[in-house]
Structure 1
């Protein structure tokens, strides 16, 4: 008989904003937006305090829109070095209980505590202790979801935010999934949710009426995953060491770039960021890719494969500029540039952050 896993999903509450409010007393109790500033073309919201969320401000929203919803909001740029330092301290708290930790980003992670280090035995008790340690030691709050698999634990952690703890036991999973709206399913984006609703599929119970073949026919390969998770089946293990596939940085500009010299200067800044990350994580890659987004939002990528893997700044800059020059025309207006290095040729450092983390909200000046 297979032993049921004990999985905890920890998700920090409004992480960047909470760190800013903790470190800056003048922000406390006020609507705070961390991300790009609304001046010029405006940036994007990375996260917002709960005071700002009451006005409808959400992550990934244009900062200009956030300002319209909440004119009294305070806008601050992200301090990623500070967030990473706090994230490391959170990780140290996790490691007191288990080594099976799978970071998803700086502010959330899965923990497998089936066999916890301290012999506590109760995943609920461990989640409570972790939450208390984060509050006591770091003066921050986290929400936790506890269940027998990753999918349900992920959804559970969002049920009672902020500072919540939700347990969904084995006997409750199917009933819980049946009642869940399709747009609350982790992995179902806005487009897929809209497609489901157009087909009369509004809840997990509606999805459950479809056979696996029907699910695949309607939603492709993801249909097989939906078929399982709506029944509470998720056999994915917590993976402590996820392979880094790419390291990148990008920037959205307040005003369109039209001159090649300006574009090259921005590429040099981005290349410096990518170079520093490659050095930090001891990575070398053979493929350099640039991303270009024009003023009409058309987006292209161009790549070059090198003879040898590299993390040399000069090589990254030269490759990126060559790719840009090959795509440049006198009448182009560029709103975003990005550089990514991939196709790594060395063994991975097990402590390397995931590509999701390395790319996380790097598009701020």
Structure 2
């Protein structure tokens, strides 16, 4: 059975004094734009854009710092309303999800489109957020539909018009096709999905390998992935942008520690652990450097994250000046397997006990009540 799916995006707060004004979420002159309302986007402001550039493009914009607690609260409220429609809700991020509405017509006594229209109005009325909806017969097309008519859009791509709809779209409409790949395809005369549709799958695979098969299927709107409500997070990370570029290893390591504590806290709260650690650095010229290290066992511990991140950082701290550092974990697993006894590392048990004691004190007295010496050193900077 083909699922009826939609993608939802919550993009704009309806605070009365901010309504109809350009709003940018970000901060400082060295940071980047986390997001921006559609009025600010008219001036060219985009997510991940350097703040100094966003200020130039839209000098009249109101700039507010991110408030993750508020976003998470609103996200949970929206998720609860989604679950009233169907238990098959697969979150993609804090403001986006897939829903499978197959077979819900009798339950709600309305078509999926009617149910979604009522949901959008209910979210706007009860949570104060506007949403854009894409409705189609698979994830690939639902995601495309959700981006067609924002803000407050509602677009439908039916099965019958799938081929004709995709035919005129550029090859970059397909997931995984970036600028370099699209330029390579263009050299072979392939610029639209319609041209891909006219080719045999075996010819595309012979020319482009696995990518060719991927192109052939998505150009025809084929996507067999199901909506998985138990889909786990693929990674958990945190990063910070400096006011002044940093080159010294010790200074970078000081910035790394509170990020490790933040990622560790998120893992512990979610009952998860990470099987690998990845380090992210951004140079003064905006070049991104990513490094990854696999762990012997999954971890939740800030100390383990820090030791792994510091090892990778030491190789990159060669005099290059960096404007951003980040740390994260991948290979997400259940916390039941996290941080086992390690006979080859006799200090591991003590480090685990120390961190557990710190967590217990913080749970009673607050986050700032206790910490390690390197954390206090960071706060004095």
Shorter-normalised TM range:
0.7 to 0.9
With over 3 angstroms needed to count, the CA separation of the structure-2 counterparts of 1:121 and 1:77, relative to structure 1, is: same
Larger Rg: 2
2:50 is matched with which residue? 62
In structure 1, what is the Cα distance between the partners aligned to 2:124 and 2:171? 33
In structure 2, what is the Cα distance between the partners aligned to 1:289 and 1:313? 13
Q: Are residue 328 (structure 1) and residue 317 (structure 2) matched? A: yes
CA RMSD of superposed structures (Å): 2.5
Query: Deviating runs (4+, > 6 A) in structure 1?
Result: none
Give 1:251 shift: 2.0
With over 3 angstroms needed to count, the CA separation of the structure-2 counterparts of 1:302 and 1:59, relative to structure 1, is: closer
Partner secondary structure for residue 268 of structure 2 = helix
With over 3 angstroms needed to count, the CA separation of the structure-2 counterparts of 1:140 and 1:327, relative to structure 1, is: closer
Give 1:343 shift: 4.1
In structure 2, what is the Cα distance between the partners aligned to 1:7 and 1:298? 35
In structure 2, what is the Cα distance between the partners aligned to 1:279 and 1:211? 50
Alignment of 1:91-102 (within 5 A): 91-102=79-90
Alignment of 1:29-178 (within 5 A): 29-37=20-28, 39=29, 42-116=30-104, 118-120=107-109, 122-178=111-167
Give 1:300 shift: 4.6
2:300 is matched with which residue? 311
Does structure 2 conserve the Cα–Cα contact (< 8 Å) formed by 1:45 and 1:59?
yes
Does structure 2 conserve the Cα–Cα contact (< 8 Å) formed by 1:8 and 1:123?
no
With over 3 angstroms needed to count, the CA separation of the structure-2 counterparts of 1:57 and 1:282, relative to structure 1, is: same
Give 1:284 shift: 2.7
2:3 is matched with which residue? 5
TM-score normalised by L of structure 2: 0.79
With over 3 angstroms needed to count, the CA separation of the structure-2 counterparts of 1:324 and 1:157, relative to structure 1, is: closer
Does structure 2 conserve the Cα–Cα contact (< 8 Å) formed by 1:182 and 1:204?
yes
In structure 1, what is the Cα distance between the partners aligned to 2:96 and 2:210? 26
Alignment of 1:256-275 (within 5 A): 256-275=245-264
Give 1:302 shift: 5.0
Any gaps of 5 or more consecutive residues in structure 2?
337-381
With over 3 angstroms needed to count, the CA separation of the structure-2 counterparts of 1:132 and 1:288, relative to structure 1, is: same
1:195 is matched with which residue? 184
With over 3 angstroms needed to count, the CA separation of the structure-2 counterparts of 1:129 and 1:263, relative to structure 1, is: same
From 326, 332, 337, the counterpart of 1:338: 326
In structure 2, what is the Cα distance between the partners aligned to 1:186 and 1:320? 30
